[in-house]
Structure 1
């Protein structure tokens, strides 16, 4: 079936109307009428070929929320009318140890990314959520709980799970002290989720103007990274820091905030290699680690958790015709905290 979309025709070119050919609904597939698609900074990196390996024309979008309008003959997880979402991948090898463990995001076979990738045949390109419809295997779709509005749910499929997974893995909760570095699309979800988990939450930022928002979102403390006295006073005080910053920064000072056996988990993606001194790590047996989105089971758990606690992402809804302007604003950090495209505007 042919569907309306917005695509980058070439690296760095403005997005423009495009027609996508979606496969017919197979026995294990569902058809989703996309209502909202979140804008992730990685959409911009890939469409501008800043990470290499780009496939054009490219239809970005891996924060997809909509309504199921058709189901295949073998489908048991969804019915027509259900709210459903699609995140950063739409298939994987299903055979490696990671896939079998429900950690499909770490597939070592062929993980089929939602866009800028190829299907299981390794030939057919994938197209993302800046489009009116998507066909996906039921095993790689997520059920969006009834109490979660689709516009604020869409960014959870990337930004939400990117923070939920490390917070869960490192056991954030009552009695733990968690730092969130950066208050953007990722960081604001980190503050919300860590607070809902019951952790003592500190937002670490170089922007003093973000303190009020940090506390509104659930931070118990605000730490200005340029305040040397405050940073010194907070040394050795945290169990976990989730670093959402994508700028190139010296990690030694924020790492010193970690206490014995503390971990800094990297989820932001700076261009240059990370820099941290050996003494910073050895002094308190500190660790530095990374985390990448989440598997299907954990992502569903995250959606249910957010619905149970009554929150989604803070969003600014735009028409698709505003997407190029919105991308420029994302690059300039001029959004609080996630743009979401109203896909109905694709038919205007």
Structure 2
């Protein structure tokens, strides 16, 4: 059988789609969750460096001021950011700070026990609270906003009631000494040891998100929990672990403050309820979950430190700090939404071009 050349020429070869083109460096940077926060942080630092040039914002004490503020908030904000990446909220962090603080005060000041034992009891209280939040959210299906808002009131009320029943006050003197006290309240000049604790938490969180399977599970859970469950991701377990982390971090900050100021106070910490989620959102984490980085959370926390210390050193009314942070949060949400739409459109466009080649 003879095959004619014209017959072969009429055969149309099957088209094999080419691999989608990799986005350029500029495109990748434009879609980076932390880009907006990085730009805002640089601009704010430059602005306050100029506006408060003669008042010490860029001095050693000025740098320590915004770093100390950012460190204690950042210890809470990093695990809160990881939880929000997984698609959930925790508004009980404020009362957990107060509970951790007053627990250390009760154990050391009222019962006269060692600080290490007080810290252990505070962590146990935090784990009970975090586990309760995680189980309620995963087992009942009630939105985490409602569950943790309710637990915030419950924990705060219990801390106040127990403190007043014991010493007829919301605050209790803390007795602390030794290595544990140094580890929680040490400082070098104007720089607090909380900065080192914050850096350690940042390193662990970045390692988990970038290198470990648990980090992939977090993004999958926040992106689409149902699809993640079908793929074998233990979404409930992921959320419970993260609730434990936010509770432990909050109690730890309460213990830091209790040792630093020698007083356990049940009323402290409520400012973190919204400060932590705000800096997380400013750092590029989406409210719906599945998108964000540890670097973005760090930058958002630094922005809060810049604004808080910067307004003080300029001599302006520090009440405007909340205004600035609120405006930045709105801008961050709008920018993240725009970036997400742009990324989705780019992916669809590149996909169509690749299929037509």
- TM band (smaller chain): under 0.3
Q: Higher strand share goes to which structure? A: 1
Which one has more relative contact order, counting CA pairs under 8 Å at least 6 apart? Answer: 2
More helix by share: 2
Structure of greater Rg: 2
TM-score, L = length of structure 1? 0.24
